[in-house]
Amino acid sequence: MKATGVVVEYNPFHNGHLHHLTETKKTSGADLVIACMSGHFLQRGEPAIVSKWARTKMALAAGVDIVIELPYAFATQHAETFAKGSISLLHEIGCESFCFGSEDGGISAFEETVNLIQSNRDTYDASIKNYMNEGLSYPSALSKAFKDLKSSGNLIDLSKPNNILGYHYIEARNTVAPSLQAFTITRESAGYHDEHFASPSIASATSIRKNLFDPDKEENVINRYIPSATYEILEHYRKEFGGYHRWEKYWPLLQYKIMSSSPSQLREIYEIEEGIENRMIESSKSALSFEDFMNRVKSKRYTWTRLQRMALHILTNTTKSEMNERHAAPSYIRLLGMNKTGQEYLNKMKKSLELPLISKLSSADKKDIFLDMKAADIYSLGLSSNEAKKKLLHQEWSQPPVMMR
């Protein structure tokens, strides 16, 4: 059986994702699609609005055949490490290809861009460093350094978020799995960060989440932008667990953690550097909310996304040493869900897999899954009732892979 892979967050699954999935099957000619999906916390340093189990159900209902988890040590990272972890896992589970959405939509432009940068790596890296020393954020420095290469070839726009990810997917593929074929399709209508509904059927996950949290929202407006199964799963989760997850629900915990830590203790946390810990401590004392805190800490040098990831690692107390031990390469494959086709594929493949396939936590090496277990524990604290917290915590240990017939 021929498998293709996608790297996803599905926060939540919407019509744009359905288009990507449909085109992935058509373009790759594969027999099944394997989704490598982030767990409870995501690449931009934020909690998923619903658990990985609920999002796995969304994926399977839409036609994904297997869902595996991208571990915390890769899922909450900058684009380079995020891509390396996800492409490695898709390769390890036997995918022959992978497909990603991009603003560009042409794979040859990604290949040429990667080749250009690799052939000018020293100059490019030095230019990035110089721009960052001038106070620019990493994404801005990267974009300016790329323009400085002054090539007129068939290249992508590295100021676009999905193009940036796609660039790192190709770079990771070239390093960890050169035989893996890559495809890309153009993102439909809504931009990655769009906060408003501008299309009759396609909307960004950002705009959908904004609507879900809006107390004055128009009822059922998101139904145009998500499959019916997604809507039903969202509603069921809200009723079962008392609401959705968002940063504001974790703010009191984060504020306590920052205010009760010394600068030297915060410097041990992953990504905390260059004295930002002092700014965070001072800002936490007067901030009235997570958004207020972020606005106080944000500067030209630090993007919102980078600061959110710092805040997340403080919340989960993830140290530099813990993360550095684990993000060299994935050490296991965590199976979250499958359908009948996926089950058939795994039955044929599992004896040839080089990484352990984990379907029950009791069979996992606790050292390997430590960060993910800690993240799951803390994710549950974003729920209001003790009963809901207990239920979600229990689910992490007791939930077998979701099976959809």
Q: Per-residue pLDDT tens for 141-167?
A: 888 888 888 776 788 888 888 999 999
CA distance readout (Å), 23 to 6, 17, 382 = 11, 10, 35
For the residues 303-331, what does the mean pLDDT come to? 93
Confidence of residue 199 (pLDDT cuts 50, 70, 90): low
Q: Is 168 annotated as a binding residue?
A: no
Whether the pLDDT of residue 214 is over 90: the answer is: no
Q: Is 275 annotated as a binding residue?
A: no
Q: Is 290 annotated as a binding residue?
A: no
Which domains does the chain show, CATH number per domain?
3-103+185-191+329-404 (3.40.50.620), 247-324 (no CATH)
pLDDT tens string 13-57: 999 999 999 999 999 999 999 999 999 999 999 999 999 999 999
- Distance CA(164)–CA(40), nearest Å, equals 23
For the residues 218-240, what does the mean pLDDT come to? 91
Q: Is 101 annotated as a binding residue?
A: yes
Give the pLDDT score at 86. Answer: 98
Give the pLDDT score at 192. Answer: 47
Q: Is 14 annotated as a binding residue?
A: yes
Give the pLDDT score at 194. Answer: 54
Q: Is 15 annotated as a binding residue?
A: yes
Q: What are the two backbone dihedrals, phi and then psi, of residue 199, each rounded to the nearest 5 degrees? A: -125, 155
Q: Is 8 annotated as a binding residue?
A: yes
Give the pLDDT score at 195. Answer: 52
CA neighbor of 335 nearest in space, from 85, 126, 56, 32 = 56
Q: Is 13 annotated as a binding residue?
A: yes
Give the pLDDT score at 144. Answer: 86
CA neighbor of 253 nearest in space, from 297, 293, 214 = 293
Q: Is 7 annotated as a binding residue?
A: yes
Give the pLDDT score at 56. Answer: 98
Confidence of residue 203 (pLDDT cuts 50, 70, 90): confident
The mean pLDDT of the chain is: 92
Intra-chain end-to-end CA distance of the chain, in Å = 19
For the residues 88-98, what does the mean pLDDT come to? 98
Q: Is 20 annotated as a binding residue?
A: yes
Q: Is 220 annotated as a binding residue?
A: no
Q: What percent of the chain has pLDDT over 70?
A: 96
Helix (H) or strand (E) holding 67: strand 66-70
Q: Is 19 annotated as a binding residue?
A: yes
Give the pLDDT score at 143. Answer: 83
Confidence of residue 5 (pLDDT cuts 50, 70, 90): very high
Q: Is 10 annotated as a binding residue?
A: yes
Measured from the Cβ of residue 383, the count of other Cβ atoms closer than 10 Å reads 21
Give the pLDDT score at 96. Answer: 97
Confidence of residue 197 (pLDDT cuts 50, 70, 90): low
Confidence of residue 184 (pLDDT cuts 50, 70, 90): very high
pLDDT tens string 165-183: 999 999 999 999 999 999 9
Contacts of 273 (CB under 8 A, 6+ apart): 267
